[in-house]
């Protein structure tokens, strides 16, 4: 298990406290911004107020942890907006799935979800990092298919 940097832990705890201790009415909006300086800026806005967390990414991969958010109450909407640094190409294969639009020279993806995701991840488009990300995705997919097939075969044998 990797160690969480102290400042990131403090920010995440404060962010979660603000979200968890308040009664959120209406819509919760979360904006995840990947900066050119290699940072993640996560801000939230709801009836309870606003909060913002900023931390440096440890890898060049575009991935931001969103685990600091509390789940909105049932029946309320959750809107996620992801903003890329200026000059970035439109991504493909992101998690979670987003609708992309170019605004002021920056790609912005939006979606509506029933709950906040644990993280936002955009795989690299080229280079060895892209190959590695796709290979890992294919490995997980192959392992899942193998597990399903194994379960079906074992189930019929019983």
Residue ranges per structural domain of the chain = 6-124, 126-158
pLDDT tens for the chain, 158 residues long, are 455 566 665 555 555 554 544 444 467 888 999 998 889 999 888 777 788 888 888 777 788 888 656 566 666 778 999 999 888 888 877 788 899 999 888 999 999 988 778 888 887 655 445 566 667 778 888 889 999 999 998 888 76
pTM: 0.61
Q: 34 — alpha (psi -120 to 50), left (phi > 0) or beta?
A: beta
Task: Report the C-alpha gap between 58 and 64 in whole angstroms.
Answer: 10
Q: Which of 11, 81, 6 is nearest to 53 (CA)?
A: 11
């Amino acid at each position: 298990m990797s160690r969480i940097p102290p400042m990131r832990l403090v920010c995440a705890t404060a962010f979660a406290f603000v979200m968890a201790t308040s009664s959120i009415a209406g819509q919760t909006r979360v904006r995840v911004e990947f900066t050119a300086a290699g940072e993640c800026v996560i801000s939230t806005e709801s009836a309870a107020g606003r909060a913002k967390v900023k931390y440096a990414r440890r890898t060049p991969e575009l991935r931001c942890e969103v685990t600091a958010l509390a789940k909105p109450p049932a029946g309320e909407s959750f809107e996620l907006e992801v903003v890329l640094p200026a000059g970035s190409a439109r991504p493909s294969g992101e998690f979670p799935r987003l609708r992309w639009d170019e605004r002021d020279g920056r790609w912005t993806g939006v979606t509506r979800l029933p709950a906040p995701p644990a993280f936002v991840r955009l795989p690299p488009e080229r280079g060895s990092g892209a190959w590695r990300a796709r290979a890992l995705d294919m490995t997980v997919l192959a392992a899942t298919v193998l597990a399903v097939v194994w379960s079906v075969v074992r189930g019929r044998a019983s």
